[in-house]
Amino acid sequence: MAEPTGLTTAPIIYPDCDGQPMTESDATRDYLLYCVEVLQLYFKGRPNVYVSGNLFIYYEEGNPKASISPDVFVIFGVSNRKRRSYKTWQEGHKLPNFVLEITSRSTQRQDEEEKPRLYASLGIEEYFQYDPTADYLKPQLRGAKLVEGRYQPLPLASTPTGLP
Q: What mean pLDDT value characterizes the chain?
A: 89
Burial 80-100 (b: 16+ CB within 10 A, else e): beebebbbbeebeeebbbbbb
CA atoms within 13 A on the CB side of 52: 20
pLDDT tens for 94-148 read 999 999 999 988 888 999 999 999 999 999 999 999 999 889 888 899 999 999 9
Residue-level pLDDT at 113: 93
Q: Span 26-153: which CATH code? A: 3.90.1570.10
What are the residue boundaries of the structural domains of the chain, listed by start?
A: 26-153
Report whether pLDDT(76) > 90: yes
Report the C-alpha gap between 35 and 11 in whole angstroms: 35
Report the C-alpha gap between 91 and 80 in whole angstroms: 11
Side chain identity at residue 69, one-letter code? S
- Maximum average pLDDT range among 16-20, 24-28, 70-74: 70-74
How would residue 18 be classed by pLDDT, with cut points 50, 70 and 90?
low
Report whether pLDDT(17) > 80: no
- Give the pTM: 0.86
